[in-house]
Each structure stands twice: as C-alpha cells, then as structure tokens.
Amino acid sequence: MANPNPPPVILFGYDSSPFTNKVRLTLRIKGVPFSYMPVPSMMPRPILRQTFGLTYRKIPVLAIGRDIYCDTSLIIEALEYNFPVEEGYGSVYPRYGKEGGFDWNYRGFVRGFASFWVDRPLFRTTTGLIPSSVWRTSFGTDRAQLIGHPLSPEKLASKIPQNLSSLDTHLSLLEPMFAGRNSGGKGMNTWLLPTPTPSLADISLYYQLRWGIDIANGRGIYNLTAGGTGDEGQGGKGKVDITASVFNAQRYPGIWTWFQAFESYVEGLSDLETAITTDSAAKSHPWKDNLKSYPLPPEHAMLVPTPAGPNEQLDSQRGLERGTRVSVAPDDTGRADPTVGVLVGSGVEEVVVLPEEKGELECRVHFPRVGFVVKTVDRGNL
C-alpha cells in the first residue's frame, strides 16, 4: 500500500554531472516524483550551505524530507528504503532469475560493481576523455583545488588516446556478459543480469558510458564549465566522433544492443521530475516549506537497514559515540571540506551528523562509511 504522505524529494546537482544523472535514472526507474534544483558545477554552492549548513562539496546531494544524503552509493540505498516495492514503487534490485527458478540476492555484488568498478576506474577513464578546452577554464582551477595538485591541459590532452585504449579494455572485459542480448527491452535476456527490468548494474554502466561519449565529444561542457567554453568544441558538429573507434555496433555488438535497449526502456517511463530552474523560481517555489513541514523520522528509522547492526564496541574504541563531535570527509578528493557536526547515528554502513554550521532548516546529514573518513575532533584539530 502506498504511503499517503511520502516525504518530499529534492535532488541537487548539475546537468553535466554523471553522478547526478545516475540518481535521476534511479528516480525515474523507481517512479519516485522529485524536484530538481540545479547548483553550480563549482564551489561555492550557497543554496546548500545556507539551507542545510552543508560544506560537503561533491555532487549530487539528495534531500528526502529533512534527511540529507551524500554520495550516490548511499543515496540509492536510501531511495530503496524510503520508497519500497511494497508501496508501489519500482526497484533497482528486481528479482533475479525466472519465476520458480534460482533466486539470487545479488544486491551486494551489484553495489560493488557500481562503486568499485564503474564509479572508480571506469570513471577515471571517461574523465580522461574531457576536452582540453575544459581544463583551461575556471572549472580546471576548481578541480585542481579539489584534487590537490595542478592540472596541465596539454598533458591531459595528450593522454586522450591512452584513455580511449583504457575504455576499449573495459568494454572488452564487459562484452562477454552481453552475448546474445535481445534488443526488445523486455525479458531476462536484455539486461546485464537476468532480471525482468534494469537493475543498478544497468543504471551504473549506462550513465557512465553515456556521459563518457557525450563529454568526449564536447556535449555538456558549457554546463560543466559554467559557460567557460561552448558545446561546439571537440566532437561538435562536423567533428569526428571521438569514441566511435572504440564503442560501435561492430566492435562490441552485445553492449551496443543493450545500450540502445536501455535508452528505449527509460524513454518509455514517466518523467516525474519537476525542475526548479532559476533563482526566481527557487525563491517562489515552496520547496523549503515542503521540507520544513515534513517531520524527521524517529531515531529507530533513521538508518538504512543492513544485515548486521552497529558495531558499538568498535565505534566506542574509536570514540565514535552518540553526541561526539566528528568530522566526515571523502577519503579521495574533497578532504579539505569536511562536514563537522554532532554524531547522532552510527551504523555498520552509514553515519549521521547534525551539522555544526546552522542552516535555515534543521536537518540530519547522512554519509556512507565506505569511501569516507569519520573521526573525532576537538576545537583545535580538524
């Protein structure tokens, strides 16, 4: 039975962010109505800081009521938890195998595929296809600050053939999984796993390939650079398709067929996104009132359920006890912008803090444990 009062959902991101589009695809496949609030591709992002006291600099960020989720790995699990199949929503973990046959709970496998293959080495490869004109803009300066070292547009341009070769390797590794796929977009023999509808595995691979193809050919770079360079750049009209020598129907027919089937499947779904597109619309749109009026769920429902409960003994040894002042930051890039606050929830896969910096709305901010460093801090040591 559907929840008669579902929480409002707002996605904060920018159009040329591959991870924003990963969450958009998830919301569409699940059939969850949501509002989309564009934010700049570069810091600062005053709407997030002023509203939620959020200093975290990566995108996307998803609000489910006044629970704020960071990182797509946790965002997707939170959507599955808050909008379950039992209430009429879709799932990114549809049942595996044929009715009455082998039923495998593949969730952990697919989460690992998404986080440790697609979101990391494959993303590094597709990022390496970004046209050099992008790195000559303020976006290049911003990302150098994020990464922690200077970026040379000339050096990055010289590595594009190397990254195309790397993409070729990834596709070669994946192609056997798609052998014999049909193009109808229906049935167990269409998707990456034998599921009746696309799973997180399909979403994860598709969004990264789609973004890599587009960005390599200069599509979306105007949005990415906040107008620093136009979309008629590398791979624009009249230009050679940068990725065509690697990804085409002849070289990888299985992946190509699946790719077209996935796009057709998504196009056939209802688009439940409401865009809040300008500053004036953001001011007049009641999104803040909608969030403010929705009560925070009780503490026992604060964490996404996991097979094992919190390990209180280990957390205690690390000083991670409820009410402790902590900092949370990614373990790769963005470490210079930690979120500092009071620890109010701690699970085996997730931590929740009340931000120290006060925003307009009282909220809880959720981070995954994997890929993030959580540590206690005192006033003089961040």
Instruction: Calculate the average pLDDT of the chain.
Output: 91
- What is the percent of the chain with per-residue pLDDT over 70, rounded to a whole number? 91
CA distance 204 to 256: 15
Domain-by-domain residue ranges, the chain? 9-90+272-376, 107-267
Tens digit of each residue's pLDDT (9 = 90 or more) over 340-351: 999 999 999 999
The pLDDT score that the predictor gives to residue 100 is 44
Of 309, 379, 371, the C-alpha closest to 346 is: 309
Tokens 């696309």 correspond to 198
CA distance 22 to 75: 10
- Which pTM does this prediction carry? 0.93
In which band, very low, low, confident or very high, does the pLDDT at 378 lie, cut at 50, 70 and 90? confident
Tokens 């379950």 correspond to 84
Architecture of domain 9-90+272-376: 3-Layer(aba) Sandwich (3.40)
In which band, very low, low, confident or very high, does the pLDDT at 224 lie, cut at 50, 70 and 90? very high
Is it the case that residue 278 has pLDDT exceeding 70? no
Domains 9-90+272-376 and 107-267 agree in fold: no
What would you report as the CA-atom Rg of the chain, rounded to the nearest whole angstrom? 21
The pLDDT score that the predictor gives to residue 53 is 95
In this structure, which CATH number among 1.10.287, 1.10.357, 3.90.1570, 1.20.1050 belongs to the domain 107-267?
1.20.1050
Instruction: Read off the tokens for 41.
Output: 């591709």
Is it the case that residue 334 has pLDDT exceeding 90? no
The pLDDT score that the predictor gives to residue 1 is 56
- Highest mean pLDDT pick, 43-52, 160-169, 190-199, 290-299: 160-169
Of 35, 38, 76, the C-alpha closest to 59 is: 38
CA distance 296 to 302: 9
Tens digit of each residue's pLDDT (9 = 90 or more) over 226-276: 999 988 544 444 467 899 999 999 999 999 999 999 999 999 999 999 998
Is it the case that residue 154 has pLDDT exceeding 70? yes
Least confident of 12-21, 26-35, 81-90, 269-278: 269-278
Which residues are within 8 A (CB) of 270 and not within 5 positions of it... i.e. 6 or more apart?
Answer: 28, 31
- What is the percent of the chain with per-residue pLDDT over 90, rounded to a whole number? 80
The pLDDT score that the predictor gives to residue 206 is 98
CA distance 196 to 194: 7
